Structure 1
């Protein structure tokens, strides 16, 4: 039983690392900085694969009631903001820095719950959140690259991620599974990003992209879409088979693996202060999981 848990976690880590590395390769190395097209392609393929695998009975996607789909649209809107801003930020920031900002979404999550439900925050959880905030605030000041635009998009990304988690956790519906929620996200994303491709200038910009006919670009885009779909399935499998705190541990491990391996794959500038911000962010995330576990005892 424990061996199966480890296998599920390791599979999740593999797809997590490879998926982020593939996206980073297309966005930064090939410099395909047209997120409406890139994310639209990924969500289109993800939606089609969910539809096909659902029809074949490989995943459980039943008929989605119209009322449930409509009530889920705010979550889909936050999902689009998450992937669009995340794509912009990842194209400009190194993966370790991106995760440091991404981890701060837990602060947005707790802040929204504190304002709406007046939840009391234990001191251990407050300390871990403080580490996440301090790391995220100080990282732009310590970053030798000083990529202001990347940090602004990362700020939008972490807000959308935190708000999405709150909505997903407190969305009371017996009609939608995690895969069905993601299927609605995919459909909404494809429609919204398709309409946004022309106003943002991504459509005409992509036509002048120098690697448009390159096999590297085509293989990278295909791999990113497929890996994103497999990561979704691995995430759902992980959450359905493990307690919440163990899922959190595997997610942290996946981020640590990505952080440690990324300097071996991508060129990046990092100094001791920015490295400390990255380390403290991961420590804060680990303490957050520990504080949530101890509060349940």
Structure 2
């Protein structure tokens, strides 16, 4: 009888932790949806430059709510990321207001999610992502339904298109495998080493993307991209120091 009570207590704790994680799942959905919309309008190097500014959002939230003390190196790196993100749309020769609006929403969701994840440690990485994916599937399925209240707001294209649904399934499958690889990497390596590998992946993707996609870059936007990469490298080093 006592064992049954222990099992029920564990289940109740897990249920309570799952409910407490729902705000994080909402931020996760905002992250993936706004990020997808922004990436469909912006070149990959530009998107990464804006995405890196999510560290500024995390920094500000922690500074205001937790009053955490930051090293001068981290403050300097965050300022580099912020300056790059602000100057990029100013000098973008193919400025797309819609792409930058979606990128702004994506930046806020990623930054807030990172803080929420840091301060909520009741669930493992796999448990968090399991709840995220279940929540996103339920929400986006409802939103994509022609009678859903969110249909007009989210404006899902090609709902009856075979290519659209195939792309969604492929994206979900690749995202799942990427999730497993990320969790495995985090469990096998220290946090600062994981940051270094993520940074290396961004550098390679940024460098190879012009070979696949047509990207118009001028000296000003190139400086923004390089400054953002430099700021991220400094941020990774500050986490290691």
Map 1:145-294 → 2, pairs under 5 A: 145-173=94-122, 176-197=123-144, 198=146, 199-201=150-152, 205-207=157-159, 212-213=161-162, 220-294=167-241
Q: 1:148 to 1:204 in 2, by over 3 A?
A: closer
User: TM-score scaled by structure 1?
Assistant: 0.72
Distance (Å, rounded) in 2 between the aligned partners of 1:130 and 1:139: 14
Structure 1 window deviating more from structure 2 (264-273 vs 136-145): it is: 264-273
Distance (Å, rounded) in 1 between the aligned partners of 2:199 and 2:116: 22
Instruction: Tell me which residue corresponds to 1:69.
Output: 18
Map 1:116-135 → 2, pairs under 5 A: 116-135=65-84
Distance (Å, rounded) in 2 between the aligned partners of 1:221 and 1:162: 25
User: TM-score scaled by structure 2?
Assistant: 0.87
Instruction: Tell me which residue corresponds to 1:100.
Output: 49
Distance (Å, rounded) in 1 between the aligned partners of 2:105 and 2:45: 18
Distance (Å, rounded) in 2 between the aligned partners of 1:207 and 1:157: 23
Q: 1:220 to 1:76 in 2, by over 3 A?
A: closer
C-alpha displacement at 1:109, in angstroms?
A: 0.7
Unaligned runs of 5+ in 1: 1-61
Structure 1 window deviating more from structure 2 (279-288 vs 115-124): it is: 115-124
Distance (Å, rounded) in 2 between the aligned partners of 1:290 and 1:204: 40
- Relative contact order, higher structure (CA 8 A, sep 6+): 1
C-alpha displacement at 1:292, in angstroms?
A: 2.1
Instruction: Tell me which residue corresponds to 2:4.
Output: none
CA RMSD, 1 decimal = 2.0
Unaligned runs of 5+ in 2: 1-9
